[in-house]
């Protein structure tokens, strides 16, 4: 008999696990957990191998393969896909000298798989390196129970209207803070440039911020932070959703708000460069919308409706301190006449490689 989504139980006793995790690890053995983006473009996969040395750089680690036919990345008749190590982090789950290894995926012909956009992003960042593009990304997400209903919500109804939940405190206002705090510490341990977190407008919706990071580091750090988030949630027996509109109705959607600046924008009178960038972006609005979620703008159609702190998907706008615009200039930036701007259009499930690359190509490279 097939089990319904709410009839299974997958809980284990973490205290029992501790007995084994406390066993000493041989000094000459390192666990390298390879992490990669799968064929959905939204989720990650992992597998772990033992190496008998402590890698100093991702290139020290061997290229590996996996079964791409099981991750929506290859046909069964030609299923081997290559994993190329690209970035390395401390492992907050296995600890010690063990590593998380972010990998790029390549097909049999050594070309990137369809959901692997790091190579193209890196090329853009290298072209614009002299402009020192900085990014800060705000990743919004929703914590879900095992039945995929928002964690802490009444099972046969809804919590009260939005208002008390944003940056809230109290058991009747926030749900899942344990997951949020554990994720924050794990990211710090890993070496990710996580710089903050807060409860968001919808109950069970949260946000964390990564940055400022320069160039390719931004997207690398964000993808590994997503892996850590899903992994922490797994330990707590809950799920995490990056859906940009997890609940229909008068509930805020989830975004990947992206803050961006160049060195010229950060210098005195940088507001002039910010205004030039906003004008360039106005001419590429459709191109950005098509790249700012996983389904060519179809996801964002549910979120960018011109209300609930969003602009309309069909319109391009910019304003100071206006969260209903496509591009927001923070009030402090307008007052200082230098700094950065925020692109509020990317959906929570957007690929940060594509988002950051497109900003650089439009603003810095005029492509």
> What pLDDT score does 15 carry?
87
Give yes or no for a contact between 343 and 284, defined as CB atoms under 8 angstroms apart.
no
Task: Tokens for 140, please give them.
Answer: 């919004």
Task: Identify the architecture of domain 25-115 in CATH.
Answer: Roll (3.10)
Same fold, 25-115 and 125-363: no
> What pLDDT score does 9 carry?
57
> What pLDDT score does 120 carry?
98
Q: What is the dihedral of CA 63, 68, 71, 72, to 10 degrees?
A: 130
Q: For the residues 99-124, what does the mean pLDDT come to?
A: 97
Q: For the residues 340-359, what does the mean pLDDT come to?
A: 98
Lowest-confidence pick of 76-80, 86-90, 174-178, 268-272: 76-80
Percent pLDDT > 70 in the chain is 97
Greatest CA span in the chain, whole angstroms?
68
- 41 prior amide bond cis, ω within 30: no
Return mean pLDDT, the chain: 95
Phi, psi of 131 (to 5 degrees): -95, -5
Q: For the residues 152-171, what does the mean pLDDT come to?
A: 95
Using CA atoms, how far apart are residues 165 and 167, in angstroms rounded to an integer? Answer: 6
> What pLDDT score does 8 carry?
53
- Tally of CB atoms within 10 A around 12: 10
Q: For the residues 184-213, what does the mean pLDDT come to?
A: 98
| SS3 (DSSP) at 199 | strand
Give yes or no for a contact between 228 and 186, defined as CB atoms under 8 angstroms apart.
yes
> What pLDDT score does 301 carry?
95
Q: Kindly list the domain boundaries of the chain, sorted by start residue.
A: 25-115, 125-363
Question: Which letter does DSSP use for residue 207 in this model?
Answer: E
Percent pLDDT > 90 in the chain is 94
Using CA atoms, how far apart are residues 40 and 288, in angstroms rounded to an integer? Answer: 20
Give yes or no for a contact between 311 and 319, defined as CB atoms under 8 angstroms apart.
no
> What pLDDT score does 14 carry?
84
Q: For the residues 270-280, what does the mean pLDDT come to?
A: 98
Using CA atoms, how far apart are residues 113 and 122, in angstroms rounded to an integer? Answer: 16
- pLDDT surpassing 80 at residue 226: yes
Query: What is the CATH code for 125-363?
Result: 3.30.590.10
């Amino acid at each position: 008999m097939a089990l319904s989504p709410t009839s299974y139980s997958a809980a284990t006793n973490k205290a029992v696990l501790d007995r084994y995790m406390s066993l000493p690890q041989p000094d000459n053995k390192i666990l390298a957990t390879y992490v990669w983006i799968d064929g959905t473009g939204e989720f990650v996969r992992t597998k772990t191998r033992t190496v008998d040395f402590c890698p100093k750089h991702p290139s020290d680690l061997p290229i590996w393969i996996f079964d791409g036919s099981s991750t929506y990345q290859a046909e069964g008749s030609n299923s081997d896909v290559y994993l190329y190590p690209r970035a390395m982090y401390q492992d907050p789950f296995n600890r010690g000298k063990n590593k998380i290894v972010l990998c790029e995926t390549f097909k049999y012909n050594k070309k990137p798989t369809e959901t692997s956009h790091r190579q193209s992003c890196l090329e853009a960042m290298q072209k614009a390196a002299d402009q020192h593009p900085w990014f800060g990304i705000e990743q919004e997400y929703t914590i879900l129970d095992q039945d995929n209903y928002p964690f802490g919500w009444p099972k046969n109804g809804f919590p009260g209207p939005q208002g008390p939940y944003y940056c809230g405190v109290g058991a009747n206002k926030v749900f899942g803070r344990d997951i949020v705090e554990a994720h924050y510490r794990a990211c710090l341990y890993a070496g990710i440039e996580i710089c903050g977190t807060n409860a968001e407008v919808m109950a069970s919706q949260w946000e964390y911020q990564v940055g400022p990071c320069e160039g390719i580091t931004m997207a690398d750090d964000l993808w590994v932070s997503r892996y850590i988030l899903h992994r922490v949630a797994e330990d707590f027996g809950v799920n995490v959703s990056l859906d940009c509109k997890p609940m229909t109705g008068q509930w805020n959607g989830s975004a990947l708000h992206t803050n961006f600046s160049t060195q010229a924008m950060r210098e005195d009178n940088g507001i002039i460069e910010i205004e030039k960038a906003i004008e360039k972006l106005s001419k590429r609005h459709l191109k950005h919308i098509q790249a700012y979620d996983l389904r060519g703008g179809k996801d964002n159609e549910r979120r960018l409706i011109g209300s609930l702190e969003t602009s309309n998907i069909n319109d391009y706008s910019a304003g100071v301190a206006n969260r209903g615009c496509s591009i927001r200039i923070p009030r402090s930036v307008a007052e200082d006449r230098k700094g950065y701007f925020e692109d509020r259009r990317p959906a929570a499930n957007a690929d940060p490689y594509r988002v950051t690359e497109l900003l650089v190509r439009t603003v810095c490279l005029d492509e």
